[in-house]
Each structure stands twice: as C-alpha cells, then as structure tokens.
C-alpha cells in the first residue's frame, strides 16, 4: 500500500528570511521553495516536520492532500 501526500505552506504578508528558508530545506531535500511558499510531495515516506508547528512558526496557511492506494 502506498500513500501520496502533499503539503503546501504559504505566507501572506511576509516572505521567509534566508534562515527560515534554510530550515525548510532541512526538512526535505525535495522541497519546492520560494520566499513565500514551501511545498513537499511524498509517495513512499512521510513529512519529517510537524505540520502544525511549521504552520504556526513560519507560515499563514497550509494545504494538505493525501490519497491512499492498495
């Protein structure tokens, strides 16, 4: 069984500082990162961070999608 997971985080009024972007890169080598967003896609593993903490500390909004298949 595999599961597709997609996490996207967005800032609304303040871009991420270089140090904050470095933290996002440490969460995953596959991050798609801009100064105002971070997107993580997983097919066979899980997000290494705590999505709620990442949202609270760095971003204003989060989208999460998942799809399981047998």
pLDDT computed for residue 7 by the predictor? 96
Per the domain annotation, does 38 fall within a domain? yes
Residue 22 is assigned to a structural domain of this protein: yes
SS3 content of the chain, % helix, strand, coil (to 5): 25, 40, 35
Q: Is residue 70 part of a domain?
A: no
Structural domain that includes position 34: 2-42+51-65
CA distances from 15 to 1, 9, 49, 51 (A): 38, 12, 20, 18
Assess whether pLDDT exceeds 60 at residue 1.
Answer: no
- The domain total for the chain is 1
Q: In the prediction, which pLDDT does 11 show? A: 98
- The pLDDT tens digits of the residues spanning 7-66 come to 999 999 999 999 999 999 999 988 999 999 999 999 888 888 999 999 999 999 999 999
In a domain, 32, yes or no: yes
């Amino acid at each position: 069984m595999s599961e597709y997971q997609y996490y996207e985080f967005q800032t609304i009024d303040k871009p991420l500082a270089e140090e904050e972007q470095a933290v996002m890169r440490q969460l995953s080598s596959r991050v798609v990162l801009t100064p105002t967003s971070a997107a993580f896609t997983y097919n066979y593993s899980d997000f290494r961070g705590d999505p709620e903490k990442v949202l609270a500390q760095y971003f204003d909004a989060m989208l999460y999608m998942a799809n399981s298949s047998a």
